[in-house]
Amino acid sequence: MLDGFDLTGRIAVVTGGGTGIGKAIAMLMAKRGADLVLAARRVEALEDAAASIRAETGRRVEILPTNVTDPQAAQALVDGAVERFGRLDILVNNAGRSSYSGFAKMPPALWDKDIALNLNAAFYCAHAAFPHLKASGNGAVVNISSQAGLTGTPGCGAYSAAKAGLQMFTKVAAAEWGGAGVRVNCVAPGMIATELAQKSWAKTGFDALGSATTAFALGRPGKPEEIAQAVVFLASDAASYITGETLAVSGGPGQKGMIDTD
């Protein structure tokens, strides 16, 4: 049964693939046999990620610096991947980032920025990829949402709205594309200890290992590799009868009740 997790022979595009969760997803996909195209804006991060993945796995990894908020650039990314590898089997829409502002003080441009990166970009890439995913016979899209898209996060309202929209895009795309053999699923990470997050926590004094995680059932932040495992599962044949779903990888729901149960 473990053969279902094998990605040998599959070609995957991972957006936001140069750092953090995206890099962890790409690394695990390569370990499971996939060849990859990594996309992000920063060339240096892409080159570093590609080099480390090649060195550790021996897989072929190409980079295509891309601003996925531009629909023409998203199309060029997909076209470039197919030009290099001849096919496309998996798309991981991981590119995303949150701005911080309450709604009352939020400039419209900030709202537009978060919606563009966290929602529109996924549509642009998936729309461009669909014909190739259909031709694959094993086509899979995995969108990376957030716990904020499930519960909402005050101060990150535009990001929360965009990620909730991404989850609905997942459902509707799955319904529309299932007949073509293309599965579309979503992973919603909680608080994940990426390198960037840890630097931010250290700078602001955020207690990610203490009081900030006491509300989580597992009582700790997650690791990028734990998100990668969920993504690889949903992209693989092990999830061949799963589509239109959002899988929360967030350490569990809050467990504070009305009485002390210890």
Assess whether 159 carries a catalytic annotation. yes
Catalytic residue among 100, 124, 159, 241: 159
**Nearest in space to 21 (alpha carbons), one of 202, 249, 253, 239:** 249
- Distances 54 to 28, 107, 141 between C-alpha atoms, Å: 12, 42, 23
DSSP class of 220: S
Domains of the chain: 2-249 (3.40.50.720)
Tell me: the pLDDT tens digits for 196-209? 777 776 776 766 66
Rounded distance between C-alpha atoms, residue 95 and residue 131, angstroms: 21
Tell me: the pLDDT tens digits for 161-216? 999 999 999 999 999 999 999 999 999 998 888 887 777 767 767 666 666 666 77
Its pTM stands at 0.93
Structure tokens at 155: 């101060």
End-to-end Cα separation, the chain, in angstroms: 39
